[in-house]
A and B are shown apart, each in its own frame.
Chain A
Amino acid sequence: MRVLNRLLAPLAVVGTVVLLAGPAQAAPNDQDTSWVQAAHLSNLAEIAAGNAAQQQATTQEVKDLGAMFVQMHTQLDSALAPVAQQLGIQLQPEPTAEQQAQLKAVQANTGRAFDTAWIAQQIGSHSTTLAATQQELKAGQDPTVLAQAQTATPVVQQHLDELRALAGQYGVPTSVPAGSGGQAADGGLPTSSWALIGVGGAALLAGGAGLVRRRATQA
Chain B
Amino acid sequence: MEMLYHQFKRRVFGMAHRIVGPNDAEEVAQEVFVRVFRGLAAFRGDSALSTWIYRLTVNASLSHLARRGRRQEISDDNLPEVPATPEPERDPGLAARIEACLQQLPAGYRAILVLHDVEGLSHEECAAILECRVGTCKSQLHKARARMRDLLGPMGVAK
Q: Is chain B found bound to chain A in the same assembly?
A: no
Residues on B facing A (Cβ under 8 Å): none
